[in-house]
A and B are shown apart, each in its own frame.
Chain A
Amino acid sequence: MEKLELRYRQVDSSLVKKLKQMPGGEAVGRCYQCGTCTASCVVNAILDDFNPRRVIRMAVLGMREVLESVEPWYCAVCYMCTERCPRDVKPVSVLMAVKNLSCIEGRVPQAFRNINENIARIGRLFEIDDFTNFMREDMGLPPIEPSDTEEVAKLIAGTEFERVVKGEAENE
């Protein structure tokens, strides 16, 4: 009994409304739970714990756990589900909207935070050091110039992205 009550308290009826307002989340309400997305999913094929149909169901039911969960982050963004969904829900985009909302109200997995810290700092995923440029030159390739970090800082100023990489998002 107690367990049931706890779950009930976590239900947030505004969740689905918020998702519908985010880019990618617009069609979440059309889902009729056929499971075609999960049946098409390469990640589900190797990992029972990742199930796009279930994530969408939880979101529609207003279960805030999805915003704290690492599950949506396991999506490989291969778009197979979106190609096949009979209701044009665009499941991959709904998961993207869930993740974007997690960044605002929930949790960002550390691995994704690390990747994006690099991008915010140097404008790219990886730093191209002198050694790599030397190797490129040796192959006859032109060097990769460092990016204009000042420009990158200005570009991201005031965005949600900047808040997340600066660690101002509430949770770890």
Chain B
Amino acid sequence: MSEYLYFPGCNIPYRENQYELSARAVAKKLGVELRGANFICCGLNIEPIDEFASLLFSARNIALAEEQELPLVALCNGCYKTLRVADRKLKKDERLRARVNEKLAEIGREYRGRSEVYHFLDVVSSELKPEHIVRKVELRVAPFTGCHSTRPSEYVGFGAEEKLRELIRLCGAKVVRYTDMDKCCGAPLLALGEELGVSIARQRLLSMKARGAEAAVTMCPFCQVSLDTLQVKAEQEFGERYGIASMYITQLIGIALGLKPEELGLGENKTKPEALLKGALR
């Protein structure tokens, strides 16, 4: 039985609770224990303002994992990358660590560099075995890894592209490759203007559609918002139909593990993948 401290981040509890629900359901099936703690923002949004303050937020969160002597696991690419980069920088740079610890001491905490930051996909990929799969989902699926599970490669990465493809195949689905499959989803631009996010989401959806994908799987709440929530908006705005049912990889795996749609929050997805999934079960 493996045990992790689960980092929810800001986005998932606010608007993408089905990701956490499906991740917890899959974790339970695989015997992975997810513990909780009172976290603050990972630091991602603070970076453009003050990189040092961003590090303080990351280090404070990692310190909680160290206090519980557990590795940290994130569902969000943005949280994973921010915590991971901070952890790597602080492990390497003693002077930076001293500066950060000077501030952490004021809140009675310390960063020691004794934990490790993981993405949940990495954990699932090592725990899920073919014998767990109880039914096949015969669908043409476009994998969407997003940016921060693979970049910046100097600090992050666990072979997310390959692992995501392998997990899709384990579920019985077919992997569809498409143009620009490693590019940004567009969601980070939402703060500056919805139309920018929608335009980028549309480009990804058009290239998925061009290769005959029926569904997309994501591993990040930002990517899911783009391909799911913004897909509905793009269809309205551009008068087009993409017809890509977008879901979290944990939802697809959950179905293959025999879980019910409501145990995976599938009803929350705007592009309604539930009917498609039901029709594809073998």
Whether A15 is near chain B, meaning CB under 8 Å from some CB there, is no
Find residues 26-63 in chain B having any chain A CB closer than 8 Å to their own CB.
36, 38-41, 45-54, 56-57, 60
Contact B49 A112 (CB under 8 A): yes
User: In the complex, which residues of chain B have a beta carbon less than 8 angstroms from the beta carbon of A90?
Assistant: 152
Indicate whether A136 sits within 8 Å of B17 (C-beta atoms), given known contacts A155-B57, A161-B53: yes
**Per-residue contact bits, chain A 145-164, to B (CB 8 Å; 1 contact, 0 not):** 10110011011110111101
User: In the complex, which residues of chain A have a beta carbon less than 8 angstroms from the beta carbon of B45?
Assistant: 112, 115-116, 119, 125
Q: How far is the CB of A115 from chain B (nearest CB, A)?
A: 5
Whole-angstrom CA separation of A104 from B45 in the bound complex: 17
Of A2-10, A55-63, A75-83, which binds chain B?
A75-83
Interface size on B, residues (CB 8 A): 48
Whether B191 is near chain A, meaning CB under 8 Å from some CB there, is yes
Whether B207 is near chain A, meaning CB under 8 Å from some CB there, is no
Contact A156 B186 (CB under 8 A): no
Whether B276 is near chain A, meaning CB under 8 Å from some CB there, is no
Whether A144 is near chain B, meaning CB under 8 Å from some CB there, is yes
User: In the complex, which residues of chain A have a beta carbon less than 8 angstroms from the beta carbon of B51?
Assistant: 22-24, 96, 100
Contact A141 B21 (CB under 8 A): yes
User: In the complex, which residues of chain B have a beta carbon less than 8 angstroms from the beta carbon of A32?
Assistant: none
Whether A139 is near chain B, meaning CB under 8 Å from some CB there, is yes
User: In the complex, which residues of chain A have a beta carbon less than 8 angstroms from the beta carbon of B17?
Assistant: 135-136, 139, 141
Interface residues on A, range: 35 or more
Our pick among A82, A123, A161 for the contact of B151 (Cβ within 8 Å) is: A82
Contact B38 A159 (CB under 8 A): no
Contact B192 A73 (CB under 8 A): yes
Whole-angstrom CA separation of A109 from B192 in the bound complex: 9
Whether A34 is near chain B, meaning CB under 8 Å from some CB there, is no
Residue of B whose beta carbon sits closest to that of A98:
B48
Whole-angstrom CA separation of A92 from B60 in the bound complex: 25
Q: How far is the CB of A37 from chain B (nearest CB, A)?
A: 13
Contact B24 A152 (CB under 8 A): no
Residue of A whose beta carbon sits closest to that of B197:
A76
Contact A78 B183 (CB under 8 A): yes
Whole-angstrom CA separation of A42 from B183 in the bound complex: 7
Contact B200 A139 (CB under 8 A): no
Our pick among A46, A96, A144 for the contact of B199 (Cβ within 8 Å) is: A46
Whole-angstrom CA separation of A125 from B40 in the bound complex: 9
User: In the complex, which residues of chain B have a beta carbon less than 8 angstroms from the beta carbon of A109?
Assistant: 192
Contact B200 A132 (CB under 8 A): no
Which B residues lie at the A interface, using CB under 8 A? 8, 10-11, 13-14, 17, 20-21, 24, 36, 38-41, 45-54, 56-57, 60, 103-104, 106-107, 147-148, 151-153, 183-184, 186, 188-189, 191-192, 196, 199-200, 203, 265
Q: A43-B196, A76-B188, A79-B148 are in contact. List 12 more A-B contacts (CB 8 A).
A: A46-B203, A76-B184, A83-B152, A111-B191, A115-B191, A119-B41, A136-B13, A139-B17, A139-B265, A147-B38, A155-B57, A156-B53
